[in-house]
Structure 1
Amino acid sequence: MRRAQLTTALLAAASLLLVGCGGGDETSDDQAPAAQQVAGGEEVASTWPLTGLPVSGDEEVAKPYPVLVTKIDNTSSSAPQLGLGKADLVVEELVEGGLTRLAAFYYSELPAKVGPVRSMRASDIGIVSPVDASVVTSGAAAQTIARIKGAGIQFFPEGSAGLSRDTGRSMPYNVFADLTTVATSAEQDAARPADYLPWGEEEDFPGGQKATTIAASFGGGHTTNWTYDGTGYVNENTYAADGDHFPADTVLVLKVQVGDAGYLDPADNPVPETKLEGKGQALVFHGGKLVRGTWSKAGLDDAISLSTKAGDLTVPAGHTWIELVPAANGSVTFSK
């Protein structure tokens, strides 16, 4: 599956071919970033796949490791969470008991301590597959491991190089990952991953309606609250360490279908499974405004597409936090 997804990534990269410009090496601020070579001689624009932001200086967009998605606990027991400030993108997903867990995506930068690391879910297949990511996890139920392996997803459970326990914290909230070490043993395809979202320019984002506070409810168990502070979105109930908050430029809410994963957790709670495929309502919060639209995703390993009645919708390049809110019993409220 990893090789098949590489082919898909290269085809996507081919659509981003840039025409080389003659002359010297100097570029002006309003020019597109230079192209970089990846596997098979293809060229891709020098933008990061998880943010759409330009690659600066001598950095290479094709890293010698895959996207590393780290599963992070999102309850008060996780405080303080470490490493969120260096994530490129974060997806918040429903888990059992009405709680949520974070899938933090790392590629442009790898922190030396991320966590607390918790277990993965079958929901993660649709979350990580579009960029052929590997998962850093404390483990998983046998049913989940079988499905993750069946999907061809590489994962690193506790016991892998780079994962260790912090004896100053209580179990099971004391597993942390050094992603610089994990990356050394991760299989990778010599290519830039595909874009996770349809990235665009700031000026292409529609006007929308004013919305400076957001409450994304996951159905009675947990609500994530955001406030726009004039430059970005502040998570008002984050458990992140001071100075290590995720710098959200955009909050993207996707209304999703949620099913039953088919087993119970140790506390006998049914384990939910988010179905990140098909289509549903999308709410894009950016710059203190809301644009309503529709998301679609043909299969678990396909990319997310966004649209409005006027046509395709892009997300301004930057750091995006995605809320996978249950369509049946979740809700999103906002105010000016």
Structure 2
Amino acid sequence: MRHRLPTAVAAFVAASLLLAGCGGGDDEDTPSGSSSAPAEPTASETTEPPEPTYWPLTGLERTGKAPEHPVIVTKVDNTSSSAPQVGLGAADLVVEELVEGGYTRLAAFYYSQVPASIGPVRSMRASDIGIVPQGATVVTSGAAPVTINRINGAGIPWITEGDAGVYRENTRSAPYNLFARLGEISKRLDAEEEPPPYLPWGTEADLPQGAKARTLTADFGAHSTSWQFQDGGYVNTDSYAAAGDQFPADSVLVLRVKVGDAGYTDPAGYPVPETKFEGKGAALLFHDGRVVRSTWSKDGLHGDIELSTKAGELTVPAGRVWVELVPAVNGDVTFAK
């Protein structure tokens, strides 16, 4: 509803305006032809918009505050006995690493979101020292004593069976029945600071043209992981994940790595390998049905991962990435149009 001035007030205002129009101006106070000074800009007009912030594990722009918990890395079994894997669909990033016997294990990274449950949870390896970012917490079924000593020496905190939120699923057989409630676990973890970017993030526009490659296979020996480019992303065609819970990879990054001997054997007598995730090696970045050949480098186990081509720095288009740490010797990568 509109409001009207009382009649007497309206008459007074009208008379005042008439006198102001007839009285003329004071030439000494306001020179002829000049205008009054512009109004000072308000705070809202002068304040610059805030700088955008980005998720460290995907490079995607973030709205709102960062989580109060650190990055949580969960070690997940990656054999047929693990089927169905639970919780991979919520991961920000996944790293696949070699373990004994030519099989692989997954390090699933969670930060922007955490699933209700994740598993089957399996043990750590010394390889994880170069994979787990500083400040992160690992959820694991444990490790060999020599590995635990090295993990502790690297200052990596970890959570295992017996801690709140880690439980046995009675519908499965051991050792493939250990699971973790990450939502519950994350509430009691505090982050000292926001983690740095895990990969050198960029945009699709920054990516070189590369060559056509709609399928690829990373061969670790006894296990191979195959991918097919479909509907703008990469589908793991031999995944053990539950239906609808596969990791939705926007890119697959293959890094050829050196592998040494961790110095002990597993209960079955297989030598335990140790991925040396430092130094440099060949790299293949698969995105949008194409592949770009490059080189990766990492200054020490805790250094930043850098990528480059002959033309200069290479960045990974922001999104969810599956990293394949394929042995430079006794491993293989094939791809096709």
TM over 0.5: yes
**Partner Cα distance (2:238, 2:171) in 1:** 24
- Equivalent residue number for residue 175 of structure 2: 172
Is residue 2:329 matched to residue 1:328?
yes
1:230 and 1:245 map into 2 onto residues whose CA distance is: 15
Partner in structure 2 of residue 99 of structure 1: 103
Counterpart of 2:196? 194
Contact persistence 1:230–1:287 (CA under 8 A): no
**How big is each residue's C-alpha offset from its partner over 1:296-336, in whole Å with a ceiling of 9 and x where there is no partner?**
00011111000000000000000000000000111100000
Residue in structure 2 matched with residue 158 of structure 1 by the alignment: 161
CA drift at 1:25: 9.8
Spell out, residue by residue over 1:199-256, the C-alpha distance to the aligned partner (whole angstroms, 9 max, x if none). 00111111000000001001x2111000001310000000000000101000000000
**Residues 135 and 191 of structure 2 are in contact (CA less than 8 Å); yes or no, is this contact kept in structure 1?**
no
The equivalent of 2:306 in structure 1 is: 305
1:47 aligned residue (47, 54, 65): 54
Q: How far has the Cα of 1:24 moved from its partner?
A: 9.3
Give distance in 1, aligned partners of 2:94 and 2:334: 20
**RMSD across aligned positions (CA):** 1.6
d(CA) in 2 for partners of 1:134, 1:159? 16
- Any idea what the Cα deviations from partners look like across 1:95-132, whole Å, max 9, x if unmatched? 00110000000000011100000000000000003x42
The equivalent residue for 2:72 is 68
2:323 partner amino acid: I
Match of 2:17 in 1: none
Aligned to 1:281: 282
Contact 2:257 2:276 in 1 (8 A): yes
Conserved 8 A contact 1:259-1:275? yes
Q: Secondary structure at the match of 1:203?
A: helix
Under a length normalisation based on structure 1, what TM-score does the superposition of the two structures give? 0.85
Is 2:263 aligned against 1:258? no
Secondary structure class of the residue paired with 1:185: coil
Aligned to 2:29: none
Equivalent position of 1:9 in the other structure:
none
Greater C-alpha radius of gyration = 2
Match for residue 145 of structure 2 among 142, 150, 157? 142
Secondary structure (helix, strand or coil) at the match of 2:58 reads coil
Please state whether the residue corresponding to 1:113 is helix, strand or coil.
coil
Q: 1:230 touches 1:288 (CA, 8 Å); kept in 2?
A: no
The offset of 1:187, in angstroms, is 4.2
The residue identity in structure 2 corresponding to 1:159 is: G
Give TM-score scaled by structure 2 length. 0.85
Instruction: Mark the runs of 5 or more structure 1 residues left unpaired by the alignment.
Output: 1-20, 28-33, 36-44
List runs of 5+ in structure 2 lacking aligned partners: 1-42
Aligned twin of 1:214: 216
AA at the equivalent of 1:243 = G
| 8 Å CA contact retained: 1:95, 1:101 | yes
Aligned mates of 2:191, 2:46 — CA distance in 1: 34
The answer to whether the 8 A contact 2:83-2:241 is kept is yes
Corresponding residue number in structure 1 for 2:7: none
Structure 2 equivalent of residue 78 of structure 1: 82
The answer to whether the 8 Å contact 1:297/1:304 transfers is: yes
Residue in 2 that maps onto 1:13 = none
